[in-house]
Amino acid sequence: MNLPLLLILVLMALAVLAAIVMMLAPTVLRAATAVRRGSQIANSPELSSDATVLSKRIEVASIDGGRTTQRHFATFQFPSGERAEFELTGHEFGLLAEGDQGTVQWKGPRYRGFTREIMR
């Protein structure tokens, strides 16, 4: 084999390798982010505090083919005045009403539940 042909083959192989790396990079980054978040949640203590449901919101995003996805969020206000927003499932979201008072439980950034205070 002559040198120019070998050089062209090496460059083509490098170009193919670069394309493969560029296609896989987003997937690898998403996986690394998921592992880091899972580790953060696993290493966080489970916490709870008295809180009031301050607000609820739904985030709607459009995806391929005109379909949409929904993410549900609730903001809780603690007696200290601090606030925290958590993502909830649609079912959990539906069980809450703005103004509800009770105890919210969470672990790291993950919502674990809300126990409503029974009014007397």
56 and 112 share a domain? yes
**CATH code of the domain containing 66:** 2.40.50.660
Position 40 pLDDT exceeds 80: no
The range of the structural domain enclosing residue 112 comes to 46-116
- Indicate if 8 and 61 belong to the same structural domain: no
Q: Is the pTM of this model over 0.85?
A: no
How far apart, in whole angstroms, are the C-alpha atoms of residue 116 and residue 106?
15
Q: What is the mean pLDDT of the chain?
A: 90
Lowest mean pLDDT among 19-33, 51-65, 78-92, 98-112: 19-33
Claim to verify: residue 77 and residue 111 sit in the same structural domain: yes
The answer on pLDDT for 43 being more than 90 is no
CB atoms within 10 A of CB 88: 19
Q: What pLDDT is stored for residue 56 in this prediction?
A: 97
pLDDT over 90 (residue 100): yes
SS3 labels along 62-114: ECHHHCEEEEEEEEEECCCCCEEEEEECHHHHHHCCCCCEEEEEEECCEEEEE
Q: How many domains does the chain have?
A: 2
Shared domain check, 27 and 5: yes
